[in-house]
Amino acid sequence: MFQEILPQLSALKIWQLVALLPAAWIAMEVLQGVILGFYNVFFHPLRHFRGNSWEIGIPLLWHRHVLRGTASHISMERHDKYGDVVRIGPNLLSYSSAQAWRDIYGASNDLPKMVFGDLGINPDSVFLAPKGEHGRQRRVMAPAFTEKSIAKQEQLIRVYIDLLVQRLRETDGLPTNAVRWFNLTTFDLIGDLTFGQSLQGLENNASNLWLDNLNKQMQFIPIIILTKMSTTVSLMIRLILGPTIKAVHAKQSANIKRMVHERLTKDDRGDFMDYMIGKLPEKELIGNADIFMIAGSHTSSVLLSGLAYWLCVTPDAYKKVTTEIREAFSDGNQITFEACTKLPYLQAVINEGLRIFPPVPIALNRQTVAPTMICGQMIPAGTYLGVNHLVVTHSEENFHKANEFIPERWLEKDDPESPFYNDKRDASQPFSTGPRNCIGQALAGYQIRLICSKVLWNFDMELEPECSDWKEQRIFASWTLPPLMIKFVDRFRGEKA
């Protein structure tokens, strides 16, 4: 057979042989893919974990969901079918139990986060710092996020919330995009706490390039994560999107660097930077300022938008929370950090919003560096694994009527007669858990309570019919947040409140 083929090959011209190379390369790639897919399904160390065999054998099928922004939704379907541990890729496990939070993110294992390359994730921040560096940076920052330190910022925070109320009043009860207003508010607020200056979004009633780039960056993060999951996908992304991702990040980094330098010329003012200046090198000041803007502003605006939507479509909860707030305060100036902590139904509403509309509705994956016991099963080294916030909080295994907005589940936890008595509330960890949980969760709590109280005390909210299905969104690193058109009807008809 070969004796017959060789004379034919020798008769081919050089250019004809060269022309055959792409076809040969493609054939080799296909063959390699088939062999690897067969191995992944039948011989891989994770072969005993259930999942969609096609997506395990052909990872590009799962990557397609990530790129489309449907991965979290598909993950919910996979967990409904296969249980609380699902193999969603050759080397990736997804969990949906409260125990998984403790085992994966808790201090006992302290599994490292993925290490990112040069596609736009700042490695000099507390968010991505390795174990020793993380602890050092966090110890420097911790005093800035104590309740005592946060209380000192109340007057500054109230300035922006009062300006939000003013801007909503100026809409004169006409439909307006609530997402935009919450974005401007939290961006201005965190920007001032970080850089010591207003970013003037509310003041000028306008977005800016930085805020727009931040929203783009949120869509790029899952794409960047894919570069760690597949060599082929990594190459494709770097060739196709690498320059764009780097350009977006470069603009943002330059802006942050400029503002950090400006902040260094100012006196102490009790903000975030005061606690870090002189204790962290410049590159870490810049890296953490970047993270503060993303984690502090974007996540809060996502939650506020979700709360506004779910209250509008849940009349019973809306009536209860507005009644509680309006009966508690006879004057808008009475609405303070401390006073808002005494509103139990409002806190239940916020807890439920964090559950049903988590600001980070994806899994922040970790990696085992040695064989590790997770939920009673030994997981081999080198495995990626995580808990998807959206999946775990929408599981009927964890929450009764998981897809409904019911704040009462957080108030009746000790009542054996309650239908929510068996809810696994520790399955909802919107700020994560363990040594790398969100350092700013106390600030977020005070901020969200105050904004909700101010807005609901001053306005009645009416959702426009066109936004009735607003919750049906694509998800990348966060929700895509299409316009949320709401009428904010002034209760005081122009009176000062």
Task: Tokens for 135, please give them.
Answer: 């602890």
b/e map 276-289, b = 16+ CB within 10 Å: beeebeeebbbbbb
Helix (H) or strand (E) holding 378: strand 377-379
Pairing of strands 377-379, 372-374: antiparallel
State how beta strands 92-95 and 85-89 pair.
Answer: antiparallel
The H-or-E segment that residue 25 falls in is helix 14-42
The two structure tokens encoding residue 213: 């780039």
Pairing relationship of beta strands 175-177 and 485-490 according to DSSP bridges: antiparallel
How many C-beta atoms lie closer than 10 Å to residue 493's C-beta? Answer: 8
> Which residues lie across from 463 on neighbouring strands?
486
Is there a contact between 187 and 199 (Cβ–Cβ < 8 Å)? yes
CB atoms within 10 A of CB 183: 24
Amino acid identity of residue 387, one-letter, is: V
Is 438 known to sit in a ligand binding site? Answer: yes
Compute the distance between CA of residue 468 and CA of residue 487 in angstroms, rounded to an integer: 14
Q: Yes or no: say if 228 and 114 are a contact pair by the CB < 8 Å rule.
A: yes
Token code pair at residue 411: 């108030």
- The pair of structure tokens assigned to 420 is 């929510």
Contact criterion met (CB below 8 Å) for 397 and 105: no
Q: What are phi and psi of 295, to 5 degrees?
A: -70, -35
What letter does residue 408 receive in the DSSP assignment?
G
Angle between helices 299-312 and 315-328 (to 10 degrees): 110
* Residue 110: CB atoms within 10 Å: 15
Q: What is the DSSP string of 39-89?
A: HHHHTSTTTTS---HHHHH-THHHHHHHHHT-HHHHHHHHHHHH-SEEEEE
DSSP state at residue 359: S
The Cα 458–Cα 16 span in angstroms is 77
* Residues tagged in the binding site annotation for heme: 438
Q: Which residues belong to the annotated binding site? A: 438
